[in-house]
Amino acid sequence: MRTQNNSPYAPVDQTAVVIEGLDIGAEVAKVHAQGYTVVERFLTPEIMDPIREAFDTEVPITEMRFLGSTTGNTWRSHNLLAKTRAIDELLLNPRLRAIVAGVIGKYCQINIATMFNTLAGEYKQDLHQDDGLWPIPRPHPSFLCNLLIAFDDFTIENGATHVVPHSHTWTKPVDQNIESVQVEMKSGSVLFWEGGLWHGGGANRTTDQERMGLFISHLVSYLRPSDLQLVSVPREVVREMPHKLQRLLGYYPFGNGVDGRDPLDTLHDGIVVHPDARPAEHWRSLR
């Protein structure tokens, strides 16, 4: 991996990087240039079916009533990493990880992991920016890389996501009536976008179609996430996760970590004390 400047938190230069036949550099370049990219056939049914099954049978569901909708016709399951292991392997997918690193850098964390199902009759969402939660003046560096995986075909009729190309570089809010593009994509495809891009879910104008998707948001490591993974995912669950996934939950050393040690030490040892820690009298005696 090559970074674009000397900062370890800079986006990774993925030029000419190809993983499993996917030109990572080309997809990252599209995100930087227009604010989003679509990768067709990103996931196979073999990977998607267990995740869909978890949504249908395993995880608690709530209704979404915000961003312009009051119908309750969108079902969501938030905080997936605390409720199911069905998405663990997906989060470590090397192509996914490479694109995220190319947009916001390799030091990042899971901000949100949500499964949703948009039912017939749902309204169009308001256009919004996902990075609007952090009150940082624009323009600012990219600190969100989000992705939306289509489990059902996304069509204009069933509410394919609206995006406003290039709007991730704008510094002022958009008019809700601005012209947008609806991103149609087949099941298994994925939409990646930069957190400043103005976008919103479309209206499901059908009478009998559902539109299921998986939304995953990645945030740079030095900002506080929207969903506090360190709190919401039980430690006994985190202990059994792969090392890279533990890091994505936020168990990374930043500044002094936990008493000067890696936060991962706390998973097995509890709140640890630095091994060199001694009473003040001990250090005075050495002077």
Going from N- to C-terminal start, the domains of the chain cover 2-252, 259-287
Choice between 213 and 269, residue whose per-residue pLDDT is larger = 213
Is the confidence at residue 283, as pLDDT, over 90?
A: no
Does residue 261 register a pLDDT over 90? no
Query: Would you list the DSSP string of 123-163?
Result: PPPPPB-GGGGS--PSS----EEEEEEESS-B-TTTTPPEE
Task: Write down the pLDDT at residue 2.
Answer: 42
For domain 2-252, which architecture applies?
Sandwich (2.60)
What's the pLDDT at 267?
A: 82
At 4, is the pLDDT very low, low, confident or very high (cuts 50, 70, 90)?
very low
Residue identified by tokens 């990042």 is: 108
- What pLDDT digit, counting tens, does each position of 15-56 carry? 999 999 999 999 999 999 999 999 999 999 999 999 999 988
Residue 82 neighbours by CB under 8 Å, 6+ apart: 232, 233, 234, 237
- Average confidence (pLDDT) over 72-94: 93
Q: What percent of the chain has pLDDT over 70?
A: 90
Per the prediction, the chain carries an average pLDDT of 90
| pLDDT at residue 83 tops 90 | yes
pLDDT of residue 7: 84
- Distance, C-alpha 205 to centroid of its chain: 27
Mean local confidence (pLDDT), 232-249: 92
